[in-house]
Structure 1
Amino acid sequence: MKDSTQKPRLNRVFYISASLIALLVLFGAIAPTTFASIAGSIFNFTTRSFGWFYLLSVFLFVLFLVFLAFSKYGKIRLGKDDDRPQYPFFTWIGMLFSAGFGVGLVFWGVAEPMSHFFTPPYADTEALTVEGARLAMAYSFFHWGVSQWSVFAIVGLIIAYFQFRRNADGLIST
């Protein structure tokens, strides 16, 4: 039984995260050039050192999801055994695409390929050329295609499984 005089427990995850973000924002506001230099160095290090790992992980996510879909595990209901879907299949697919693509495409639909077209991701590719346009579209398709949805699906399946099948909170921290 809970004591009503007891103080509520602090949410450590929130306070630690909020403090770190506040420090980073403060550092960026006080020394924007230094912050940009450090952030750029960290970004370059991670993409050069771990880009292969990201690509491999996304590929394995796609393979894993295909395996799940066609194996006996693809039949596991994300809810109670007697639950039925609230929406028909095509309505659910429409909501999924609307939510996922709607948010990103409104902003990045044209901006991302044009950004890659004007500043190609590879130094040996010339900007504003047919080759640059093909590379820009390839990057955009990678970011908005099956690979992107596989990462969303893995996270969504994990949250849905634990929330609706195991009755846990629908939170990443859970």
Structure 2
Amino acid sequence: MSQNFRLPTGGRVNRGRTINFTFDGRRMSGLEGDTLASALLANGEHLAGRSFKYHRPRGILSAGPEEPNALVGVGADEGHYSPNLRATQVELFEGLVAESQNRSPSLRYDWAGVNNLIWRFIPAGFYYKTFMWPRGAWTKFFEPRIRAMAGLGRAPKAPDATTYAQRYAHCDVLI
């Protein structure tokens, strides 16, 4: 893929080694030393996420751990999946599989983006007063859908497949 948005010189990347990765099912390439965020920008992918409530388009805002918009899920299979990672902190490696979060069906065409058209009629906390009747509908219908709209990444569906050197059978703090 063309990297028209990359500067021809400078930076802390190895321009002699290309790394292939996948983002939302599309094959892309980056350079050794890139983060996922810098590789996405170099490939012309400026849309990195959606806002929580109104699902407005969001791009990459920063270059470090304070990045609020580019949250991704990383993992080739369910046993190695990690949600809610900042794209600015994910180092690119060969075969990386990443997906955007908080979108349906895709990042570019998120159906929940229609909320942006009716934002004037959706005040903060409206759902705590609006969907309270009938009582059973709140817990079984409205609340699960509202939580899904405002959620972050999904939890892995399989046990952790990674092998660790140590295993702790107790916790330090339990809340």
TM-score by length of 2: 0.23
| Greater fraction strand | 2
TM-score by length of 1: 0.23
